[in-house]
Structure 1
Amino acid sequence: MLTARDTVCDKIEGRLAGATEYLTKPFDPEKLQITVHKILTVAGQMQ
C-alpha cells in the first residue's frame, strides 16, 4: 500500500485490509524499489 496516511492506526488498518507492505508519501525511491523487488520475488516463487 502506498499512501499519504501515516498514523499508527492507518498502518494497522492497512495491514488488516490485506496490505503486505505499507509505504507512506513522500516515499524513499530505494525503499519502493526494494519492496517491489521483494513482492515480485515472492510472486515468482509461487508459480
Structure 2
Amino acid sequence: MGEDGDVMTPVEWAVVIVVALVVIAAILSLVDNETLVELAAEVID
C-alpha cells in the first residue's frame, strides 16, 4: 500500500472505488432485475 502500510493515498482510494464500481456494474448486468429484487427481499427480511 505504500511506506506506511495501512495508510492509503487518495490515488489508491480512487482505484479501489473504481474497481468496486466496475465489479458492481458487472454483477448488476449479469443478474436479472427480478433476481436482484428477490435477493434484496431476502436481505431485508
TM-score computed with the length of structure 2 as normaliser: 0.46
Answer 1 or 2: which has greater helix percent.
Answer: 2
Q: Kindly indicate which of the two structures has a greater share of residues assigned to strand.
A: 1
TM-score (norm 1): 0.44
Q: Whose relative contact order is higher, 1 or 2, with alpha carbons under 8 Å and at least 6 apart?
A: 1
